[in-house]
Every structure is written in C-alpha cells, then in structure tokens.
Amino acid sequence: MDRTLVDFVKVLRTAEINVSPAETLDAMQAMDIVGYSDRNFLKDSLSMVLSKTPEEKEAFNSCFDRYFAFQKFKSDETEPGGDGEGPDQSDDSDFDQQADGQRQSGGKGSGQGMGQAGGSEAIDDENGLQPSSKLGKLLLSGNKTELTIAMAEAGREAEVNQIVVFTQKGLYTRKIMDAMGLKGLQDEIAELQAHGGRPQNQLSGKLKKARDRLREQVRDYVEKQFFLHADESGKQLREELLKKVKLSNLEKRNFKDVQEVVFKMAKKLIAIHSKRRKTYKRGQLDIRKTLRNNMQFDGMFFDLKWKASKVDRPKVMCICDVSGSVSNYSRFLLMFLYSLAEILPKVRSFAFSSDLGEVTRLFEQSNLEDAMARTMRDYGNGSTDYGQMLMDFKRQCMDDVNNKTTIIILGDARNNYGDPKSEILREMYDKSKRVIWLNPEPKMSWTVGDAEMKKYAPCCHQADVCNSLTHLERVVSNLLRSVA
C-alpha cells in the first residue's frame, strides 16, 4: 500500500496540492495506524495530514474519490441480479477488496476496482478443451479480482500514469494489453482457428469475445487514468505554452486563460518577495545591537550583530504604449503589475499613443476588464508619438522621479519619423534608479524603418525583448529581487 500511497501523492501534486516528503511519511504512518478497512475514516485521516487549506481539502476529496473509484468487470454473460454490469462501486467492501489486491500485487489503486471473484469454472466445456495461454486462462477463469490485479500491474509496467494527452489513449490501451499477454492470446486464437474443428472454433469464439471485453475495460481504465493524472498536467502544459507564446498571437478566447496564468505567476512572486528583506554587511559590526544583545553575558561578546540595510519595495512608474501594434503587450503588463499590488503598492501607470495620461486611479476604482477597456478607448486611438509622450512625462511627473524610482517603458519605439526627444529619456536616466525598456519586437527590427531604439537604448539601464508572459515574469521578478 505504501507504493499506492506514493502514486496517490503524485496525483495530489498534479492537482496543485503541495505535499512534502515529510508529509508523505506522516501519511504512511497514519495509514498504518488507521488501516484501510474503513474508507471514510482513511480518507479523513489522510486529508488531515496531506491537505491544509479549504481549497486543498476540496481538491483532495475529488482526487481521493477518483483515485479510489472502483468498477467491477463485466460478466461474460448478463445474468439477472448479477454483478457483471453494475454501476461504479465505491462502498467499503469494494475498498477492502482493492486494498487486499494491492497488498498482494503492489498494483495501482486507481482506475478499475475489485469485482467479486468468480467461483464457477468458465473454461470447462463438453469436450474438456481449455485455453493454453496465460491471458486466455485468466479471462475464462471467472476470477475478476486476479484480472483486475493483472491489469493494474500491466498499467504500472506501461507507465499509464505518464499519459499526457487524450490521443495517447489507444497507445496505452495497446501497451497494457501487450503487458497482460495479448500476443500469446492472439497466437492461441489463430492456432485454434487454423485447426478448424468445432471445439476449437467454440473456444476461439469465447476467447475473442473475452478479449474484446477486456480491451473495452482496459480502454475505460486508461481513460480514467487520463482524467486522474493528465487532466491537471494537461492544464499545466497548456499554461506553459501560454507563457511562451507571443502575446500578439493570442486570440480573444485565450485572454481568460492567460489572465489566470498571470494571477498565478503573480501569486508565486508575492510568496517569494512579500517580506521585506535585509542584506547583511558581513565584517561591519553593529556596536549598539551587539552590546545590547550581550548584556546578559556580562559584556562578553557571544552574539555578534552585523550591520544590515532593509530592502525597500520599489517605486515603479510604468509607461505603456497602447497603440494597436502593442496593445496586447501593454494590457498584460498592466495586468501583471496590478496583480502584484500587495508588494508593489507604489505603482503608477501611464498609457499613451501620443498624449500621455495617468490611469492609476482608473485601475483602483474599476475592475480590471473595465479599466483595460477604458484605457484602450481613451488612449489607444492616436498616431504613435514617443516625443510627445516624453514631453508630457517631463511636464507631469519628472519632479516625482528620484533615486528610488524604477521607470518601465513598454513599446516598440516606432515614432512615425517624428522627433524622438531622447534627451528627455537621458534626463530620466540620470534622475531615476533604473529605466527599463521592454520592446515586443525582435532586436533585428530595432533599427529598421521608423524605429528609434538606436537612440533610446543608450539612455536605458536595461533594454530587452519582451513579447511573452515568461519575459514579463522575468522582468518583474528581477525588479522585486533588486536591492534599493
């Protein structure tokens, strides 16, 4: 059962429940104490050990019910009152049988469950002809428990828990069938058909029907494994793709998914950078703190204190070009920064296509979607003019810039052959702590046509290509990591 529990923990981690190795060991000890005869008692016990928050407990309950969901194998023939084609079973008796089977085989606990072992011999016929292949004997024996165990072992051998996309369903079905001995069964059926006798034809017909039923059962098993293991990992794969794709290539239907990714990335950065940090200057003794902390030792210096400086949260001014060519990039940068309001409380945001306007209060008073729409409507219709933007910034905001200010400019620097006013950007460079220019175009385009990056880049502390969520995350993470 320990191996089954480890596999279950992998499912929990796939569902974004953080389970540490120590918690896994605690869960093993808890399972040894409570046993697995009472399904609900075991579920509650593991929930206490492996899940912390209400959200995690809800996800845990869903994962447990799906992982330990059992379905009995279909009988060879439908019998009135029989248990061959009943619905999914998840009662305690089924759970006990599953646990017993795993204790014998070390098989997976997910997917199909234990049916009642058939007591009748289904392989006898009037001629006494019996299958010779291992799988054939198992299929016609009526022992559904052993058949389930064999399928679970084959699933582990085929590594069905590594399934990623739904199109792999047929591949893993074939792998599991092969691991259970399909080749031997196929060879036996071919030999029986080649013999041509009536008993041989009857037995081959039974084996083919049993093989087809098994294939359907294995297909269902793989499908459940997909929803158990790959549903969340597939979501993670989709999120990773959305992080890497160019924001200009996103369609409207992807915006909601990207917004979720942005909030998740921001949450991770908040967890890393929410506390104010200190940097310690080793070698520079803090005399006052050292004397105060060693008074209890009669002046003996047992506890040395070193000088430290606090890392202040950065003051950020974000200027976004919202003209048609770069509006998507600006949209997500603003979204990203406002998702970090907990650790970036001093963000001031500006939007322009020609005239510069501050949209900080708009975002504070409106929900995100409304604020985005109004920003694009009010500032996104003019002809791009970076020179005018820089003059407006100098007039409105230059007095607020100091040596703790980080200025982020997101735009393609295409100025329609107007005056770039790069001397104003040089003044911003001299007064601020940092000027960061994020250009969504590749560097080979920075000097083509009306692009002015060749004049703006020397006036920036950092000028980078930024056209995906991964780039945005890296820039913001570096911003939070920097020392003020």
87 shares its domain with 210: yes
319 shares its domain with 294: no
| Per-residue confidence (pLDDT) for residue 337, from 0 to 100 | 67
139 shares its domain with 226: yes
Is residue 414 included in any domain, yes or no? yes
301 shares its domain with 350: no
Give the whole-angstrom CA distance, residue 64 versus residue 68. Answer: 6
Sheet holding 315-321, edge to edge: 356-358, 347-352, 315-321, 405-410, 434-439, 462-465
Number of other CB atoms surrounding residue 300 within 10 Å: 8
pLDDT in tens, 200-225: 888 888 888 989 888 888 888 887 77
CATH number of the domain at 374, please. Answer: 3.40.50.410
What is the distance of C-alpha 397 from the center of its chain? 40
332 shares its domain with 365: yes
Task: Give Cβ neighbours of residue 230 (< 8 Å, ≥ 6 apart).
Answer: 163, 164, 165, 166
380 shares its domain with 396: yes
What DSSP string runs through 45-104?
HHHHHH--SHHHHHHHHHHHHHHT-B-PPPPSS--TT-STT---B-SHHHHHHHHHHHHH
Q: What is the dihedral of CA 184, 188, 189, 195, to 10 degrees?
A: 160
114 shares its domain with 201: yes
Is residue 254 included in any domain, yes or no? no
Task: Give Cβ neighbours of residue 382 (< 8 Å, ≥ 6 apart).
Answer: 323, 353, 354, 355
| Per-residue confidence (pLDDT) for residue 254, from 0 to 100 | 64
Which of 287, 310, 333 delimits the end of a domain? Answer: 310
Query: Element (H or E) spanning 464, and its range?
Result: strand 462-465
Name the stretches of the chain with pLDDT < 50: 72-125, 483-484
Task: Give Cβ neighbours of residue 372 (< 8 Å, ≥ 6 apart).
Answer: 331, 334, 335
Tokens of 347: 């963000």
Is residue 59 included in any domain, yes or no? no
Is residue 58 included in any domain, yes or no? no
444 shares its domain with 374: yes
Give the whole-angstrom CA distance, residue 344 versus residue 45. Answer: 40
83 shares its domain with 117: yes
Which of 259, 287, 310 delimits the end of a domain? Answer: 310
- The letter for the amino acid at 373 is A
| Per-residue confidence (pLDDT) for residue 430, from 0 to 100 | 94
Task: Give Cβ neighbours of residue 244 (< 8 Å, ≥ 6 apart).
Answer: 468, 469, 470
Angle value at C-alpha 443, between 242 and 412, nearest 5 degrees: 75
Is residue 207 included in any domain, yes or no? yes
DSSP tag of 143:
B
Total tally of structural domains belonging to the chain? 3
Number of other CB atoms surrounding residue 105 within 10 Å: 16
225 shares its domain with 336: no
| Per-residue confidence (pLDDT) for residue 76, from 0 to 100 | 44
SS3 220: helix
Is residue 17 included in any domain, yes or no? no
Contact predicate 186/180, CB 8 Å: no
- Look up the domain containing 299 and give its range: 278-310
Is residue 337 included in any domain, yes or no? yes
Which of 190, 220, 240 delimits the end of a domain? Answer: 240
Contact predicate 413/321, CB 8 Å: no
Is residue 38 included in any domain, yes or no? no
443 shares its domain with 331: yes
Give the whole-angstrom CA distance, residue 367 versus residue 178. Answer: 56
133 shares its domain with 172: yes
What DSSP string runs through 301-317?
--S--EEEEE-PPPEEE
Contact predicate 140/185, CB 8 Å: no
Q: Within 13 Å of residue 471, how many CA atoms lie on the same side as its CB?
A: 22
pLDDT in tens, 415-428: 888 999 999 999 99
Give the whole-angstrom CA distance, residue 371 versus residue 337. Answer: 14
